Amino acid sequence: MTTQRVRFYQVGSFAVGNRLLEADQRTVQAGEHRSNALTSGHRACQGCGEALGARYVLDAAMRATGGRMVTVNATGCLEVFTTPFPETSWQIAWLHSLFGNAPAVATGVAAALKVKGRTDIRVVGQGGDGGTVDIGFGCLSGMFERNDDVLFVCYDNEAYMNTGVQRSGATPPAARTATTPVTRSSPGNAFGQGKSAPLIAMAHEIPYVATATVADLHDLEAKVNRAMQIRGARYIHVLVPCPLGWGTESSETIRVARMATESGLFPVFEAENGEVTSATPIRRLMPVEPYLRIQKRYAHLFTPPPRVDVIAQIQARADRNIRRFGLLTEES
């Protein structure tokens, strides 16, 4: 675990801040002088997890780099809702090129900064799951393999949301999307497909890989901070719920991300040079069913007769994660 949990019985490290904590024990987000890399007026849906995740990551990166940072963004929701001419909600140096080339463009930026002797300026590449795991995958792998000095962040909302909720390589099994509709014979996205970008990143043995969610801010910021202390290719995969695509209430974004980790479906861990170095333990273990139930993209699993077989398969995936990453401690 990268964060030292503050045993502070009121809210400790689970809340964003606390008036009783020293400033350095609070999150970057708690400070009035946070960078607000992403400011108000953007066109994200109400309760957008990606808008939150991006601000979390980039404000933390700005703090860690003293504001010396350049961001490269892939095409997708994040890029579209932030830069509709004539409005941009970015307050940082930002470049958008194409859908599938953000990692390569980031490599180019890093190379330019290096040749100009400005390695104090760090590069963050970012994109959604579609741009990272599918169309951008070749470029991502190339950046990893060359160990370019880029932190790449994937905001994973588990489908191509900007174009209308189509399936991506990150869409979990049984989820309904516009291209994996639910029929009698097929309960949404197929089992046995999909890729784990964090595990693939680990297979490249790059210096740092981590997963995080918008539900645990201290953890996410600590990971961004850690990443910024390392040179070379780094990858952070952030789960960002999408109320529209997942079929959740706009107010539930944080809660559903929390349920994803507490059920074990989304393991939160860190790895360096291909080896898992820490896993954030599940605090209060819960079964997958309540997590699935609050998302309309899984509603078909609960209409009578409920698909208990599918739910059991999903539970098995969660159980496997728990085993594989050691997500339970005595306290859980």
- Interface residues for another protein in 172-231 (CB under 8 A)? 217
Q: Does 286 bind another protein (CB under 8 A)?
A: no
Residues 28-47 that bind another protein (CB under 8 A): 29-30, 32, 36, 38-44, 46-47
Which one of residues 142, 207, 232, 287 is an interface residue with another protein (CB under 8 A)? Answer: 142
Torsion angle of alpha carbons 198, 202, 207, 209, nearest 10°?
Answer: 20
CA separation for the pair 143, 152 (Å, rounded): 9
Interacting span for another protein (CB under 8 A) from 26-34, 226-234, 288-296, 318-326: 26-34
Interacting span for another protein (CB under 8 A) from 21-29, 175-183, 190-198, 290-298: 21-29
- Mind spelling out the 3-state secondary structure of 22-63? CHHHCCHHHCCCCCCCECCCCCCCCCCHHHHHHHHHHHHHHH
Token pair for 81:
């809702």
Q: Does 160 bind another protein (CB under 8 A)?
A: no
Residues 242-281 that bind another protein (CB under 8 A): 243, 249-255, 258
* One-letter amino acid for residue 272 of the chain: E
Considering beta carbons, is residue 65 or 211 the nearer one to another protein?
65
Backbone angles phi, psi at 321, to 5 degrees: -60, -45
Token pair for 47:
């309760």
Which one of residues 1, 2, 25, 92 is an interface residue with another protein (CB under 8 A)? Answer: 92
* Beta carbons within 10 angstroms of residue 303's beta carbon: 9
Helix (H, G, I), strand (E, B) or coil at 121: coil
Q: Does 141 bind another protein (CB under 8 A)?
A: yes
Q: Does 10 bind another protein (CB under 8 A)?
A: yes
Q: Does 22 bind another protein (CB under 8 A)?
A: no
Q: How far is the CB of 34 from another protein (least distance, A)?
A: 9
Q: How far is the CB of 92 from another protein (least distance, A)?
A: 5
Q: How far is the CB of 112 from another protein (least distance, A)?
A: 3
45 CB-contact burial (10 Å; exposed 0-12 / middle 13-18 / buried 19+): middle
CA separation for the pair 149, 331 (Å, rounded): 38
Interacting span for another protein (CB under 8 A) from 49-57, 187-195, 224-232, 320-328: 49-57
Which one of residues 3, 27, 126, 321 is an interface residue with another protein (CB under 8 A)? Answer: 27
117 CB-contact burial (10 Å; exposed 0-12 / middle 13-18 / buried 19+): exposed
The crossing angle, in degrees rounded to 10, of helices 137-145 and 102-115 is 30
Considering beta carbons, is residue 41 or 305 the nearer one to another protein?
41
Considering beta carbons, is residue 107 or 321 the nearer one to another protein?
107
Distance of CA 24 to the CA centre of its chain: 24
Q: Does 163 bind another protein (CB under 8 A)?
A: no
Helix (H, G, I), strand (E, B) or coil at 290: helix
Q: Does 329 bind another protein (CB under 8 A)?
A: no
Helix (H, G, I), strand (E, B) or coil at 275: strand
Q: How far is the CB of 266 from another protein (least distance, A)?
A: 16
CA separation for the pair 328, 332 (Å, rounded): 6
Q: How far is the CB of 121 from another protein (least distance, A)?
A: 6
Per the CB < 8 A criterion, the answer to whether 39 and 61 are in contact is no
Q: Does 100 bind another protein (CB under 8 A)?
A: yes
Q: Does 61 bind another protein (CB under 8 A)?
A: no
